[in-house]
Amino acid sequence: MNTIVYLRPQPAPGQSADHIVKQQHAAANAAGIQAGLPSQRDGDGLALVARTMTEPAGGERTLQQILSAIGPDDAFVTATLGSLGTTPTSLVVNASKLVASGARLVIADLPSGLDLNLLRVVASAFRPLEERASRLSAEIDAMYASRMVERQEHEQEVRKSLVNSMMANGIDVASLLTGGHKPAAKGDPALGKQLKTIREELALSPEDAGKLVVKFGHAALSKSDVTGIEKGRIADVALVDSYTVALRAAKAKARVAQKIDAAIFNAKATEQHGQPLTAGEAATIAANVKSKSTAKRGDPIPAATTPIQE
């Protein structure tokens, strides 16, 4: 006789799966010994001579393998009737298969044995609830599928808005994402020349420009790396792309900063001195300031030769 101990841990508050498996194994072992199944003595006492099979969470593949192979000369031992199915219907079906196989069935929480007819009657009372649960599950799955579509559409809108915002701030997104600069195996001198022009407009040294890539997750570039990229001698796509993104982002940031500075300057000038000076007014004031700074102590300060324009 082959004895199979089947364990199927069910979730329980405050208990781990391992703890539940140990409890079920102890209960099944005791029930099998009490039923007179072959056992042997080990260090902890009597133990069934059996093959223990544990079902992974969320399925019953192991149980179906047992049901397809078990026969009249075998014994099936489990701790609880609930381990035979997750729904009333599946429980009745699997229990019926075990009874039909002719195997000896030992269930720890049914010491008097399994009454299959009674089980069918009790399970039938829960069939409406089971069908309702199945419908609700299908509705939830459909809702999640619909939400997934809505989420994807929302993500597309966010990406579109982000790209538009970057382009509005002077970042050539299409070139960055599609590789519009087409880096060649020998480097791209034309792209390097553009990058050098941007760096010089930002008044950055090669060393300072090389540090810009740190913000984008890349190690700082050395002076030789920056020079190599700008002269088209470096063809490392990742290196060139990191430097390109960093420089163009710095350029966009500088443009925004210039606009902000200009707005603040104009606002302060208007607040403190009224309307901004005209070109003639600015030239006259500059000439007078220069003559005052060069006049000797005691010498008369020359009068302004150019009248202030109204």
Residues 140, 51 share a domain:
no
Please give the pLDDT value at position 240.
86
What are the tens digits of pLDDT across the range 160-204?
888 778 777 767 666 666 555 444 446 788 888 889 999 998 889
Percentage, residues of the chain above pLDDT 70 = 78
Residues 165/170/173/175 CA torsion (nearest 10 deg): 170
105 and 12 within one domain: yes
pLDDT at residue 290 in the model: 59
How many domains is the chain built from? Answer: 3
**Within a domain: 303:** no
Give residue 279's domain range.
Answer: 179-289
What pLDDT sits at residue 292?
Answer: 54
Q: How many CA within 13 A on the CB side of residue 253?
A: 8
The answer to whether residues 8 and 120 belong to one domain is: yes
Give me the chain's average pLDDT, please.
80
CATH code for the domain in which residue 67 is found: 3.40.50.1390
- Mark whether 200 and 147 lie in a shared domain: no
Against a cut of 0.85, is the pTM above it?
Answer: no
What's the maximum distance between 2 C-alpha atoms anywhere in the chain? 129
Residue 92 and residue 112 in one domain: yes
- Residue 297 included in any domain: no
Please give the Cα distance from 197 to 202 (Å, whole number).
9
pLDDT per residue as tens digits for the range 235-275: 787 888 888 888 888 888 888 777 776 766 666 666 555 55
pLDDT of residue 310: 41
Return the C-alpha torsion angle 251, 253, 258, 261, nearest 10: -160
Same domain, 30 and 103: yes
Low-confidence ranges of the chain (pLDDT < 70): 170, 172-186, 261, 263-283, 285-310
In a domain, 295, yes or no: no
Residues 30 and 81 in one domain: yes
Structure tokens at 102: 């002719």
Neighbours of 255 (CB within 10 A): 12
| C-alpha span between 205 and 183 (Å, rounded) | 23
Measured between alpha carbons, how far is residue 289 from residues 251, 298, 302 in Å?
A: 36, 17, 11
